[in-house]
């Protein structure tokens, strides 16, 4: 009775109509579309775009490693540059996860708020939350249903990232696992030393209000399954509840870091995958949704085969 | 630096334009709107509509109680009726949480799949996933922005629940914390003995494909923070990983159950709250979103003051 609650469902590019179980067999599942993608549909993630965060082992002594991919240009590069400097300075070593708020965020950084920052960090203007539009005819709206976004004029994927678009330009969106920069009240925009990741329903009201700088690509379960904080906003109330961060390193410095790759969001494979996510037609489903919100179409990322 | 990542933000019913920090002070936060709601804006939740699930204590001996509100008529009542019978028969006592899939669901029931069900459960037809439209001019579209839903013709709140609407009728939607009925392949629709709750981004592709029967109104952190299962679909691979369920009781049978109430979704207070969720204008925000998806407007529920 329980095995069939769907994770992977099959689909194809056609009208969003109910299909019989017989028909459904001929539709590949999203996971099958991804698995069948050609080798050159995959794009390598450079080690210089990766952060490796080692948390203290769990209560059973198990290693907890979280891998983050930093956002590429032209998005949020002022903060991303700061983060590279912080990692190179080993600034996060000895800091901690201090906040776990259910259905919202996990946040980490210096709980004392007194640790000196490395020299040379930039102060980034809030206007950089949004990137002015540039010739982007090749960034595709992956959803075939044409339904608009509750939070933006349009949305889609570009360079492997989920983005929204409005009159003022493009901006990355707060989906599950995205990493952003904590800040004080505006005009402060944060340095990048205080970071959070989304562990619940996409809090897209934060879009254009906080810098997004990356996403967790492996090990988010080490953060999302932490005990929730009982203080205001989910902060841990006692020091011993905090989860120590042993180290944070750039991929070019960390040891034993696997190579990762993402499915090109310009590829036909991705378009077919996105359609399959929006219109599931395997035998489990009676009614394909006929649409999907952008945060329900996670970009496929995997360890690269050797 | 870290205290200000927003949970509660202030707002009001007006145009979605950036406001200065000065202006923002005059906008009440969503939480303030809820706190200021009149006593008769709140609707009591009947104990007969509540399920109390007691999990085994955690590793530190702390009690773990999860409280679920069952859906009212006319939604999913065939399954809800079965669930009342299962609770009255104490059927879940000695069963367990068997599946925890990150950014998706926690699922519980009989891991052996052999436990006999009580007599008198109904077999419910899949057509009951959707309720045919009936005179519902008084169910309001709470979002003022007029943007449509990626998954439905329209959406809104009625009787305290988030619903979507299409040509075929109304249906409840898979938001964070909603509780649904596991099933096998169609035409099976599940009995209600195997249940799950959403612990990630709203999987709304499940709408109209699985029965939703309720929502977790207290204690979801006892499920969302569980270790993720390492088997396919997040199932626990070893028996000792499962989380024992000590008991599940209806509120009319359970002991020491507090009274709960929800903010009437027909009230002006709720409309103001929903607008504030969609257009945050407190000092933290530079740009109110100008919209929200329905799962980002959770219906306020609280323990009733004595």
Query: Splitting chain A (306 residues) into consecutive groups of 10 residues, what average pLDDT does each group show?
Result: 32 33 67 95 97 97 98 96 98 98 98 96 96 60 56 85 87 97 95 98 97 98 98 97 98 95 94 90 84 93 89
Closest CA to B15 of B294, B281, B297: B281
B73 touches chain A (CB under 8 A): no
Element (H, E) at A78: helix A77-88
Q: Burial of A153 by CB count in 10 Å (0-12 exposed, 13-18 middle, 19+ buried)? A: exposed
B90-105 pLDDT per residue, tens:
999 999 999 999 999 9
The Cα angle at residue A264 between residues A262 and A266, in degrees rounded to 5: 160
Would you state the pLDDT for residue B133?
67
- What are A29's two structure tokens? 């599942």
| Residues B180, B215 contacting (CB under 8 angstroms) | no
- Rounded-to-integer distance, Cα A217 and Cα A257, Å: 13
- Rounded-to-integer distance, Cα B61 and Cα A283, Å: 43
Nearest to B102 among A186, A206, A224 (CB): A224
Would you state the pLDDT for residue B283?
76
Selected for mutation to probe chain B from A2, A112, A229, A280 (highest B CB count within 10 Å) is: A2
| Residues B34, B273 contacting (CB under 8 angstroms) | yes
CATH of domain B21-110+127-301: 2.40.100.10
- Rounded-to-integer distance, Cα A162 and Cα A145, Å: 17
CA distance A199 to chain B (A): 7
Q: Could you give the count of Cα atoms lying within 13 Å of A130 in the half-sphere of its Cβ?
A: 17
- 8 Å CB contact of A9 and B207: no
Q: What count of other Cβ atoms lies within 10 Å of the Cβ of residue A123?
A: 11
Q: In which band, very low, low, confident or very high, does the pLDDT at B71 lie, cut at 50, 70 and 90?
A: very high
Selected for mutation to probe chain A from B5, B62, B222 (highest A CB count within 10 Å) is: B5
The answer for A 230-269 residues in CB contact with B (under 8 A) is 233, 235
Would you state the pLDDT for residue A153?
78
Q: In which band, very low, low, confident or very high, does the pLDDT at B18 lie, cut at 50, 70 and 90?
A: very low
Report phi then psi at B108, rounded to 5.
-140, 160
Would you state the pLDDT for residue B264?
94
Would you state the pLDDT for residue B306?
66
The answer for A 174-203 residues in CB contact with B (under 8 A) is 175-177, 182-186, 188, 190, 193-194, 196, 200-203
Nearest to A185 among B113, B200, B284 (CB): B284
Q: Given its phi and psi angles, is residue A269 left (phi above 0), alpha (psi -120 to 50 degrees) or beta?
A: alpha
Q: How many CB pairs under 8 A join A and B?
A: 214
Counting every residue written for chain B, the total comes to 306
Query: Which is higher by pLDDT, B8 or B207?
Result: B207
Its sign, for the CA torsion B11, B14, B16, B22, is: negative
- Rounded-to-integer distance, Cα A222 and Cα A225, Å: 6
Would you state the pLDDT for residue A140?
45
Q: In which band, very low, low, confident or very high, does the pLDDT at B25 lie, cut at 50, 70 and 90?
A: low
- 8 Å CB contact of A292 and B151: yes
Q: A7: which DSSP letter?
A: S
Closest CA to B78 of B41, B40, B38, B127: B127
| Residues A194, B1 contacting (CB under 8 angstroms) | yes
Counting every residue written for chain A, the total comes to 306
Report phi then psi at A216, rounded to 5.
-80, 125
Would you state the pLDDT for residue A8?
27
- Rounded-to-integer distance, Cα B186 and Cα A78, Å: 51
B156-190 pLDDT per residue, tens:
888 999 998 888 888 999 999 999 999 999 899 99
- 8 Å CB contact of A228 and B221: yes
CATH of domain A21-111+125-303: 2.40.100.10
| Residues B75, B179 contacting (CB under 8 angstroms) | no
Nearest to A194 among B2, B209, B291 (CB): B2
Nearest to B151 among A104, A210, A289 (CB): A289
The per-residue pLDDT of chain B, averaged, comes to 87
């Amino acid at each position: 009775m329980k095995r069939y609650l769907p994770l992977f469902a099959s689909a194809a590019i056609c009208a969003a109509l109910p299909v019989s179980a017989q028909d459904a067999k001929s539709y590949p599942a999203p996971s099958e579309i991804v698995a069948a993608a050609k080798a050159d549909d995959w794009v390598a993630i450079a080690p210089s775009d990766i952060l490796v965060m080692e948390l203290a082992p769990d209560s059973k002594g198990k290693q907890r490693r979280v891998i983050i991919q930093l956002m590429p240009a032209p998005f949020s590069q002022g903060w991303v540059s700061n983060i590279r400097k912080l990692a190179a300075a080993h600034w996060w070593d000895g800091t901690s996860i201090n906040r776990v708020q259910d259905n919202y965020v996990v946040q980490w950084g210096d709980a004392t708020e007194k640790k000196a920052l490395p020299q040379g960090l930039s102060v980034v203007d809030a206007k950089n939350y949004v990137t002015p539009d540039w010739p982007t005819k090749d960034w595709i709206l992956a959803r075939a249903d044409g339904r608009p976004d509750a939070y933006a004029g349009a949305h889609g994927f570009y360079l492997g990232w989920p983005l929204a678009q409005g009159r003022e330009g493009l901006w990355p969106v707060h989906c599950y696992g995205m990493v952003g920069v904590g800040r004080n009240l505006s005009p402060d925009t944060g340095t990048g030393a205080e970071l959070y990741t989304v562990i619940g329903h996409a809090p897209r009201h934060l879009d254009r209000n906080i810098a997004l700088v990356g996403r967790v690509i492996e090990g988010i379960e080490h953060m999302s399954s932490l005990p929730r904080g009982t203080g205001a906003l989910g902060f841990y109330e006692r020091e011993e509840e905090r989860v120590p961060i042993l180290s944070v390193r750039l991929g070019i410095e960390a040891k034993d870091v696997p190579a990762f790759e993402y499915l090109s969001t310009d590829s036909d494979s991705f378009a077919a995958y996105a359609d399959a996510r929006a219109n599931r037609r395997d035998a489990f489903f009676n009614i394909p949704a006929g649409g999907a919100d952008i945060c329900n179409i996670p970009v496929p990322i995997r360890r690269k085969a050797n």
